[in-house]
Amino acid sequence: MLAAPACVTAQTWSSSEATFRLDTVAQGLEHPWSLAFLPDGDALVTERAGRLRVIRDGTLLPEPVQGLPELVVSGQGGLLDVLLHPEFRQNNTLFLSYAHRSPAGMTTRVARAELNGNRLTGVEVIFEALPRSGTSRHFAGRMAFDAQGNLYIAVGDRGEMDRAQDTGDDAGGVHRITPEGKPAPGNPFLADSQANDTLFTYGNRNIQGMTVHPETGAIWTHEHGPRGGDEINILRAGTNYGWPEITYGIDYSGLPISLDTKQPGMAQPLHYWDPSIAPSGMAFYTGTLFPQWQGDLFVGALKMQKLVRLEIVDGKVTEEEDLLTDLGERIRAVNMGPDGALWLLTDAPRGNVYRMVPAQ
């Protein structure tokens, strides 16, 4: 089991159903982005600045993991998600998403590697979104495995919104591959010579949260809108999620992006926010520390600096509650821990790792 943290916040918070506190597990991380729990009780944390760190026995080890793939830290890009292979206990394999630069521009890449001690070995690039672009935003990068062992990879529109409607462009969509990097069997565009065989969905702006429903196995995502229009969606093969042809948001300038919120052939979000909360990270609660939260969906918020609890009944949001509104930190990632606690990462030059546990 994961060890107790080194220090504990004195403050407690109350929600409509629980009283809880935050245990501070680690401090001083440079824009922590993602968290993965190892079978031996350690935890891996990515720093967007390009480091993979280890938390062991409640302590952040000073030496980063060595052997990372070549990456670029620029704007919103850097080292992004870390995800363990479903058979990590047998093969020590993990996956990293990150921004990469070449003379042709920047893009989102995914590499697989083996974790041996404090070093990655056998690093292999298994996915690269094309074409590249000169922009430094909307890399997306969230990943998840489904029950069949397929890997889902979110790629943002790179701030060039029309790319999201072009199925011949890897940007602005979700891609599904095997752990070896091949297009997953049954992908929806395999017969389309203009589309990448890895493409699974399109019309996605910038997915920053991805998780698996604990009962149905469906992949749930959320993505940033512009000024308003943040969305929660359930991924379905071949679906067009509409960006930028339909949106509940407006441009940062205040001008409309589209006059439509609905069009035939384009999916409606399960839930949306207006104004934008800038969601990031999401997890279903499946632990026993808060039995009253079983099955609830938790979403972090960067702009609004809070944690949102959504009660889900029959695939629909029936209740929404804002938590940690006075914490004053941008919540980047939300993870369901093997210890039954919710784990949070906060996005800052000196970000924190927290465990949410009952106050008693």
Catalytic residues: 138
Q: How many CA atoms lie within 13 A of 215 on its CB side?
A: 10
Candidates 173, 214, 165, 205; CA nearest to 336 is 214
Q: How many CA atoms lie within 13 A of 141 on its CB side?
A: 29
How far, in Å, CA of 242 to CA of 239, rounded?
9
Both tokens assigned to 306: 């809070």
How far, in Å, CA of 181 to CA of 154, rounded?
14
Using CA atoms, how far residue 105 sits from 101, 133, 163, 175, 208, in Å, is: 6, 5, 15, 20, 22
